[in-house]
Amino acid sequence: MLGAVDNWVPLQESHDAFFCVVDLHALTLPWDPKTLRERVLQMSALLLARGIDPDRAVLFVQSHVPAHSELSWLLMCVARMGELRRMIQFREKSKGQGEAVGAGLFTYPVLQAADVLLYQARGVPVGEDQKQHVELMRDLAQRFNALLGETFVVPEPWIQARGARVLALDNPAEKMSKSAPREASKILLVDSPDAIARKIRSAVTDSGREVRAGEDKPALTNLLTIFSLVSGESIAELEARFSGMGYGDFKKALAEAVIANLHDTQQRYLELMADPGELLRLLVIGADKARDVAETTMAEVRSAVGLGPRI
């Protein structure tokens, strides 16, 4: 999340930016109804605390804009089983489940496409692992336009070189994910300083003692990437800074840098969570703005497919 959100924040200055807390997507895996609402508020607070500005961007909760579900169904009717079956994340998350895999996990990339196409987005800031999903969005938009007339802007993936792919601390062959069950694999924006230091101390490293990036050092490359994200120093500068030093000193400095970087974010997060009324007020404003745009798109979509205006 760190690399993603820090890449999103500058877009508020130059684009009409929409940021959606995807609570419907959360239902594709087992969930606890009692905690779902709390998690939505926590994610909203984290985005605001990290720099998403409701005066410059639109921040809202997915399920608060019913057009997401409606457009998802209409796009489902032009999607193809084969293209959904090829989605890498579906194949990875459904391993071992066979016919027991949830249909939502299979079809959620179509809902993801609706999340973007509703707002006629020209660009989607994503990590490398999400590029295939943007390609599906493009395919669905182009197919819909060809079948039913020009309706959707065909979006492009915007992949930032910096922080495009942060890997798991305990396995640099995997992406770092907040949904991963292994606590030691990830740093959360709300982790305490002690938890951050502990996770970084236990992060896997490569053979040898040299602190440098390279194809033969995937673990150190990942840790250097994180250090670069939180400190603003380039990887080359960090390699020079820690030349001749061991992994222990490097990890200690990395932990201190992460803790310092997250300090203000965590303080603002606590303030927001202490005032849920204000947080909900901001989300209501965002949902109203999002619905205005979404309904304009849906009027065009309903006309194109032959449903006509709502009565």
Residue 248: CATH number of its domain: 1.10.240.10
pLDDT attached to residue 164:
58
pLDDT attached to residue 90:
81
Same domain, 63 and 149: yes
Residue 178 is a catalytic residue = yes
d(CA 129, CA 149): 31
Same domain, 197 and 262: yes
pLDDT attached to residue 2:
64
pLDDT tens digits, the chain, 311 residues: what are they? 566 788 889 999 899 999 999 999 999 988 999 899 999 999 999 999 999 999 999 999 999 999 999 999 999 999 999 999 998 888 777 777 777 788 998 999 999 999 999 999 999 998 777 889 999 999 999 999 999 999 999 999 998 766 557 888 988 888 887 767 788 888 988 899 999 999 999 999 998 889 999 999 999 999 999 999 999 999 999 999 999 899 999 999 999 999 999 999 999 999 999 999 999 999 999 999 999 999 999 999 999 999 999 88
Same domain, 88 and 215: no
Same domain, 8 and 75: yes
Same domain, 226 and 254: yes
pTM equals 0.88
Domain membership of residue 310 (yes or no) is no
Same domain, 44 and 67: yes
* Residue from 159, 57, 65, 177 nearest 114 by CA: 65
Same domain, 132 and 87: yes
pLDDT attached to residue 77:
97
Q: Which residues pair with 18 in a beta bridge?
A: 58
Residue 175 is a catalytic residue = yes
Name the active-site residue from 175, 186, 199, 217.
175
* Domain at 110, CATH number: 3.40.50.620
Domain membership of residue 190 (yes or no) is yes
Same domain, 235 and 189: yes
d(CA 187, CA 190): 8
Same domain, 192 and 146: no
Name the active-site residue from 34, 95, 131, 178.
178
d(CA 240, CA 244): 9
Q: Which residues fall within 8 angstroms of residue 148, CB to CB, at 6 or more apart?
A: 304, 305
Which pair of tokens denotes residue 109?
């990339």
Same domain, 123 and 253: no
Residue 252 is a catalytic residue = no
Tell me the pairing of strands 167-168 and 171-175: antiparallel
The residue segments making up the domain with residue 76 are: 2-164+275-305
Same domain, 22 and 141: yes
Same domain, 206 and 128: no
Domain membership of residue 77 (yes or no) is yes
How many independent structural domains does the chain possess?
2
Domain membership of residue 61 (yes or no) is yes
The DSSP call for residue 166 is: P
Domain membership of residue 289 (yes or no) is yes
* Residue from 158, 113, 142, 163 nearest 17 by CA: 158
